[in-house]
Structure 1
């Protein structure tokens, strides 16, 4: 049973906790055989384990006889110490169980606005349905909807267990898995002059247009800026900056400047004729939507992993 106390390595003579539990039960029952049954092992295995404890300690701990086993003086002292250690270990074990249960019963999610508005509701409904089918209690989910930069900050700081971001790169210091693909589309009001164009919009024209845009830090804004940068272009100062896709859509529908939106966010208005899409020549506006988390390369266990599996399959 290795470890550290105050930065000093524990002695290699410290027995395993399970062996100390066996010794304590032997002292309590007065029988190696009875203690073995408590631990679900054979008497021979129990006896061998106790001899191993004596070898580690360097002193006899039990006086064995056909009528049972009783402690030596050294054994009496060690059992007293071991009982205190076992009590503390039981408290730690219960605390770990509480942490695991708490993690499985609640899930803190931070998501970009596009994912939060258009994908997460369906994913969460699917997770809940699967949990109920499996006879498990539904997980309580808290959601923070914000831009991709703030999602990454929330996951890095531990304020969120799982995040969903947009953008061309994985946020620094986080693990990631792709969960979906999306594309950005240039949208205008149906009465806008661009709807009467015969040729696609050029990247240069788009870069030079003051758009209704998402704020700095949003995945949508970053994908657009990096796509233009790949062509040696820079987005001009926006006509207005808004913090939600809904706000951008409403501004464009009201006759404001054009915008670049996720197709997920625009498809309802495009289908109903409330917005019109304008094609752009030679500009890659596709993007990945990613789940991100902190720590090991394996996604967090429990509800977070359940949600990630649903997101990847939908």
Structure 2
């Protein structure tokens, strides 16, 4: 049912009830954070809207007319119901904001998300808001995308350029893939060209991994020597002599700095990729998901 155009909004009703309770425009203004002039102007606006006088100014303050007293009586249960509605909405928001389910690819989960989540918790503490309980599922990029599309997860983070229909996305970081071998490997003395790299079976992530997909888009590779489902397992296999690997610079930064692994620079090959936040197309991240997305984007 459409309301009459003569029905004041809730803030106007609250103002009138406050004037009735305090007995003056000045006191009502102090209680609501308004100037006396603003209160007077608002009351005149309400009277024009309704079409009858509501407040009579006297030397000893302001008192309601008979119509004003009637309106205050009718307004009080409306304002009480609005307060209950407001409390219910706050409860829904607290329930939503109290938990956040996200999914992330291995590289993002291991090397970027921890810092983002620490920053989210710090923001909430500084704003005196309850800290969000985060449930993180770590998958390869294809599995993360599947969780977003079936509605299991509100926000995901994936690697690589291939995003199916039904997703909205935003780039949050850029990453470089590097060819790595153990010390003493022949490629540390003579780097291969792209053709030789493509012909060499590598220690690789499983199908569906963003790292593997990015490499396969740039190079038509031989079948892997071995497939492993985690970056740490691949690093161990490379060190054990199972073969070279292509890994994120984020994942092997410390190994390269200490010399445990050696980067091989292949002439003519640069492997970079976007790391993206993804969510269901047509929706917008809200609450903690929105805050986490902002933090991730800010730290690009």
Query: What is the TM-score normalised by the length of structure 2?
Result: 0.73
2:86 aligned with 1:86: no
Corresponding residue of 2:160: 167
Aligned-pair CA distance for 1:184: 1.2
Q: Provide the rounded CA distance (Å) in 1 between the counterparts of 2:29 and 2:113.
A: 52
2:263 aligned with 1:284: no
1:171-211 CA-to-partner distances (Å, cap 9, x unmatched) read 763342443x322122345565x537635232x44344443
Aligned-pair CA distance for 1:52: 1.8
1:96-138 CA-to-partner distances (Å, cap 9, x unmatched) read 5566667777765543211222334455556667888x68679
Q: Which of 179, 193, 209 lines up with 1:201 in the alignment?
A: 193
Change (3 A) 1:10 1:283: farther
Which segments of 5 or more consecutive residues in structure 1 lack a partner in the other structure? 1-7
Which segments of 5 or more consecutive residues in structure 2 lack a partner in the other structure? none
Correspondence list, 1:247-262, <5 A = 247-262=233-248
Residues 199, 222 of structure 2: 8 Å contact kept: yes
Provide the alpha-carbon RMSD of the alignment.
4.0
Corresponding residue of 2:250: 264
Q: Provide the rounded CA distance (Å) in 2 between the counterparts of 1:101 and 1:44.
A: 37
Aligned-pair CA distance for 1:56: 1.9
Residues 147, 153 of structure 2: 8 Å contact kept: yes
Correspondence list, 1:52-67, <5 A = 52-62=45-55
Aligned-pair CA distance for 1:57: 2.5
Residues 166, 287 of structure 1: 8 Å contact kept: yes
Q: Provide the rounded CA distance (Å) in 2 between the counterparts of 1:201 and 1:295.
A: 45
Correspondence list, 1:70-85, <5 A = 70-72=64-66, 74-85=67-78
Corresponding residue of 2:205: 214
Change (3 A) 1:52 1:26: same
Q: Which of 17, 22, 37 lines up with 1:24 in the alignment?
A: 17
1:207-256 CA-to-partner distances (Å, cap 9, x unmatched) read 4444332233322122112223xxxx4x4443443221112222333332
Change (3 A) 1:170 1:75: farther
Residues 121, 132 of structure 2: 8 Å contact kept: no
Aligned-pair CA distance for 1:141: 5.8
Corresponding residue of 1:5: none
Corresponding residue of 1:45: 38
Q: Provide the rounded CA distance (Å) in 1 between the counterparts of 2:95 and 2:7.
A: 32
Q: Provide the rounded CA distance (Å) in 1 between the counterparts of 2:111 and 2:36.
A: 62
What SS is found at the alignment partner of 1:221? Answer: helix
Q: Provide the rounded CA distance (Å) in 2 between the counterparts of 1:291 and 1:103.
A: 20
Q: Provide the rounded CA distance (Å) in 2 between the counterparts of 1:136 and 1:44.
A: 35
What SS is found at the alignment partner of 1:198? Answer: coil
Residues 116, 292 of structure 2: 8 Å contact kept: no
What SS is found at the alignment partner of 1:216? Answer: coil
Aligned-pair CA distance for 1:50: 2.1
Residues 104, 303 of structure 1: 8 Å contact kept: no
What SS is found at the alignment partner of 1:281? Answer: coil
